[in-house]
Amino acid sequence: MTVHSPSPHASSKHTRVLLADDHELVRDGIRARLQKVPELEVVGEATNGRDAVNLALELRPDVLLMDVSMPVMNGLEAAMEIRKTRPDIAVLILSVYDNPEYVRGVVQAGARGYILKDISAAEMITAITSVASGGYYFSSAVGPTLVGANTSAPVEDPYGLTDRERQVLTAIARGQPNKEVAKDLGISVRTVESHRLNLREKVGNKNAAQLYKVAQDLGLLD
């Protein structure tokens, strides 16, 4: 972790920013962008969530610009730590993955914004200014998630389900017992049971009630 010397222009009008990302290249890029704006000052850098929390407590930045995925402690856990101890520090989550699904969790973790890697310099600065002034900022791509819509970008299947398994999952989530599913798909009940067990295995051994949630997350319902 790194502590930067105060800039000679430091004043109360400046927004003090702490960077946290495990990729030096990304940090360099962000710093280069922010250096162009005199009102923004990068006061330190961290390479994991734990360091970010410690540095935030020490430096008390206005904004903590932090990647979600970092070693030791990820951005969400770090955001929760920050909220518990210093809720006045605005956490702005920078996701290198274009995954709006995180948004809810991010806000629940106490973050004040969520921006994507493909953001422009101008928008990144706007986002930092936004959270620094007390608001919430979200990249345009996360709109559907904000309104609770099923993103219609069906979410790439994180479980590696097969087509048949998806069919079975859909039917189960609709509330059909195995016997009906078997009838509808024209296969044996035992086969449906096999698929069902494989599903539970793949998605993490959740039961029937929770399979509904998985189906919903995958956009299989509606």
Instruction: Return the biggest CA–CA distance within the chain.
Output: 76
| Piece of 36-44, 104-112, 119-127, 205-213 that binds DNA (CB under 7 A) | 205-213
Q: Is 197 in the site for DNA (CB under 7 A)?
A: yes
Structure tokens at 168: 């079975």
Return the closest-CA partner of residue 126 out of 137, 117, 118, 110.
137
How far is the C-alpha of 4 from the C-alpha of 121, rounded, in Å? 21
What is the phi/psi pair of residue 116, to 5°?
-100, 160
Strand pairing report for 2-3 and 40-46: antiparallel
Q: Does 143 bind a second copy (CB under 8 A)?
A: yes
Residues 111-170 that bind DNA (CB under 7 A): 160, 162-165
The residue type at 67: D
Residue 120, φ and ψ in degrees, nearest 5: -80, 165
Q: Does 213 bind a second copy (CB under 8 A)?
A: yes
Q: Which is nearer to DNA, 88 or 156 (CB)?
A: 156
Binder to DNA among 177, 183, 213, 216 (CB under 7 A)? Answer: 177
Instruction: List residues near DNA by CB under 7 A.
Output: 160, 162-165, 177-179, 182, 185, 187-191, 193-197, 200, 205, 207-208
Instruction: List residues near a second copy by CB under 8 A.
Output: 104, 107-108, 112, 115, 120, 122-123, 126-127, 129-130, 133-140, 142-143, 146-148, 172-175, 177, 206-213
